[in-house]
Structure formats: structure tokens, C-alpha cells
Amino acid sequence: MTQAPLLRQITDYANRADPYPLYAELRKTPVLQEEDGGPFVISTYWDIQSLLHDPRISSDASNLTARGDELTEQEEEEEAALPPSFLRLDPPEHDRLRRMTNRSFGPPHSPRRVHDMRGELAGIVSGLIAGFGDTDRIDVVDQFSYPFPVTVICRLLGVPREDEARFHSWADTIAAGLDPVPGDDPTERNRVTHEARMQLGMYLAGLVEERRKTPGDDMLSELVTSHGPDGPMTTMEVLSTAALLLIAGHETTVNLITNGMLTLLRHPEVLQRLRDDPRLAVSIVEELLRYEPPVQLVPQRTCIADIEVRGVTIPKGSSIWLVLAAGNRDPERFKDPERFDPDRQDIQHLGFGSGVHSCFGAPLARLEAQLALTELARRLDNPRLVEDPPLYRQNAVLRGPRHLNITFDGLRPQ
């Protein structure tokens, strides 16, 4: 494989339906650089895991250029629109904001928050399936795997569900901006992304002001009013955190559920096993996170010191891409990695990342996917794909079908 078109191959839409042969080629040269000054691409499991835990690898936006000491014009505009979330910060600031956010989301302060949502989540799933009506054909994305996590995150944050159409457009635009290689007109893409961040920031600012005046029992109110050991969040910190939760809280889960249903329909014997034994959902979701992860690569990491990986020195200031999906199918780590196997005993996947930036919402995403896939398997009678492969989103980072049309013989009773 020639190195010159490497970045284009990874981000090329033509590879979205099945990028795994390309990832297998990448692993043959575990540390690749397209050209001088271009990013270093890491594609093997142990190297990715090590770098995710390496304090010499930075997520801070201010380190994303070779200069290392100043932001690009685009990044300055983005900060003006909405400051970086803790996902784009390093310790100790990352740790402080993540710790403050976690007070209202998980242990030790709210240890049962996700667990106690199980009944509510099951009700949302049942309602969406009931909404299929008498039809024998649906688009899983539009009618199920998108509205489910969006409804959940809206309720959790306290965002009015009727405003969903507004932030759906903003979220799609911002998510598209994650692609590390711009399309035909990067200037226009940057402008549109900046405008979406501005609009989302102004919308959330209005909600924050409402919660200051009249707090509720939602997470946004807790972010606004909480005064723990770290003190209160600033208004801008609340806005950036709320935007992160709103977007990340549904974008990845949509893909996880959709990729999961597609994989089960391609493996009908596993679908039948899930229908017969809902307890299998836990191991199915873990194997899905390895086999078809919703986040394919992490492009926004930078060396803040020289690092040696397999004899190759990656200089300070260099950009690094960590191809999580390639690591998840590394034969040096997993036996028979190209096989979807929910009985796999050792699934320490990279589907939620690792280290200090491991996915904040992983417990909720796991539960949502388990409930969603279990109920679809149980309720849909003889489901079948209308087209395979389906049409994929044009996003190399967040990989999933844009639509997943299926047909079935009817709905089983609830």
C-alpha cells in the first residue's frame, strides 16, 4: 500500500461500508505517516491502548498544530463560539470538569442514576416500536435508533423534546466537522460548523438562564446549581459540558444500535439466540463495540514530547490518529478477530476508548443498546434487510448507516 493516499483512503466514503480490509493493511505497518508534517497513524491494539494512557499525548486543542503554542484561526473561532469541552482538555482541567459533571451522572454521588432509568428507557423503546403501526417496513435509524437516545438525553438534561429538530441539525453539522480531512470546500465546512456551534451555544445559554431562575430535577439544573468541592462551573463551562452531553449523548449511541441491528440481521442465528435469551444482550453489545464500534478513530491527539513507538520516533508537536476500529480487530490481541462472536470470553475492546478520556456515557450507552436490541429481536417477526450494505454516513470518525431499511412479517405482542 502506498503511503501518499493514506489519509484519503481512511476518510474516503467508498470505504465506509467495509473499512476493515484497509485497517488490516494499516496494521502491517503499525506506525505510518503520509508525508512530512502529516499525522502519524497508529493501528495496532497494544500501541493504541498504551498511547491512550500516555500523559505525553495531549487532547488539548492548543496543541493540535506543529507550532504547539497557538491556535489556528479556525480553532480560535470555534472557541469564541463555544469553548472546548473536557473531552478536548488535559488534566488537571479535564479531571476537574469531568469530576464535576459526574456528580450528577454516576458514582460516587449518583451511583444509581443510570440503573434507575431502566424502566423509563424500556418504556421509550416500547413506545417507539408501537409507533411502527401496521407497516411491514421501517427505517431503523429514523424510526428507532435515532429518536431513542435523543429522547433519553433530552429527559436526562432537561431539554424540551419539541426542540429536538433544532439541535438535530446543529449536532449533525458539528459531528460532520469531526472528520479529520475536509471535503471539497473546507472553508465552507468550517463556516457552517462555526455557525452551528454558535447557534447551539445561544440555545443552551437560554436554557441555562431558565434553570438558574427555576431549577428542576434534571442534569442541566444540577450543573448550574452544584457547588461541590471543586466549586461551581462557570457559565461557559456549563455550556460546553451541556453541548458535549447533548451531542455525544446520542450521536454514538445511534450508530451503536444501528450497527448492532445490522450485524444481528447478518447473523440470524445470534438474533434468534437473543430472542430466546435476553441475558445474551450484555455480551452481544460488548462484542459489537469491538466488532463494529461507532467511533472508528480518534484524530485529535498531539505529542507534547518525543515518543518512540515500535522503533519510530514521533516528534513533539506531531498529530496522531488512533484507529480504534483497527485495533479492535488486531489478531495480535484477539483470536479470529474478523468473526462476530458474542461468546468471546475476553473482550477488552477499544470501543469506548481508554484512559482518562474513556467514554463518559458508556454505562448509559451500554444499557440503551442492550434494551434496544433485545426488544427489536423479541418484537420483530422475521426481520430482513432491504439492502446490504446500506447507505452510510459520510463520516470517518463516527461510522454508521444513514438509513437501515428493513422489512418484517409483523410485530409480536408486547
pLDDT for 257-299, tens place per residue?
999 999 999 999 999 999 999 999 999 999 999 999 999 999 8
Contacts of 109 (CB under 8 A, 6+ apart): 102, 103, 228
Give the span between the Cα atoms of 241 and 243, in whole angstroms: 5
Closest among 157, 249, 267 to 204, alpha carbons compared: 157
pLDDT at 45 over 90: yes
Nearest to 46 by CA among 29, 25, 26, 30: 30
Q: Which of 172-186, 286-300, 354-368 has the lowest mean pLDDT?
A: 172-186
Report which DSSP code applies to 393: P
**Using one digit for the tens of pLDDT, what is the confidence trace for 397-413?**
999 999 999 999 999 99
Angle at 255 between CA 252 and CA 259, to 5 degrees: 145
CB-CB contact of 402 with 182 (8 Å): no
Q: In the numeric block, which cell numbers belong to residue 337? A: 478477530
Write the pLDDT tens digit of every residue in 183-192: 556 677 778 8
- CA–CA separation, 72 and 54 (whole Å): 25
Instruction: State phi, psi for 319 to the nearest 5 degrees.
Output: -85, 140
Q: 160: Cβ–Cβ under 8 A, 6 or more apart, which residues?
A: 154
Band the pLDDT of 68: cuts 50, 70, 90: very low
Output the nine-digit C-alpha cell for 321. Answer: 490518529
Q: Mean pLDDT over residues 83-97, rounded?
A: 90
Is residue 79 within 8 Å of residue 236, measured between CB atoms?
no
pLDDT in the model for residue 169: 80
Euclidean distance between CA atoms 96 and 229, whole angstroms: 10
Task: Give the residues across from 228 on adjacent strands.
Answer: 231
Q: For the whole model, what pTM was predicted? A: 0.91
Residue range 236-241: average pLDDT? 92
- Whether 1 has a pLDDT exceeding 70, the answer reads no
Which of the pair, 276 or 175, is modelled with greater confidence?
A: 276
What is the average per-residue pLDDT within 367-381? 97
Q: Indicate if the pLDDT at residue 180 is higher than 90.
A: no
Residue 66 has what pLDDT? 46
Q: pLDDT at position 186, please?
A: 67
Rounded-to-integer distance, Cα 246 and Cα 172, Å: 12
Please list, residue by residue across 346-365, b when 16 or more beta carbons sit within 10 angstroms of its beta carbon and e when fewer do.
Answer: ebebbbbbbeebebbbbbbb
Share of the chain above pLDDT 90, in %: 60
Q: How many residues are recorded in the chain?
A: 414
- Angle at which helices 268-276 and 281-291 cross, to 10°: 150
CA distance 284 to 369: 10
Tell me the DSSP string of 228-290. BTTBPPPHHHHHHHHHHHHHHHHHHHHHHHHHHHHHHHH-HHHHHHHHH-GGGHHHHHHHHHH
Return d(Cα 409, Cα 386) in angstroms, integer: 13
Q: What letter does residue 93 receive in the DSSP assignment?
A: H
**Letter for the amino acid at 279?**
R
Cα 388 off chain centre by: 23
What does the pLDDT read at residue 77? 46
Distances (CA, A) of 68 to 71, 83, 364: 8, 18, 36
Per-residue model confidence (pLDDT) at position 36: 65
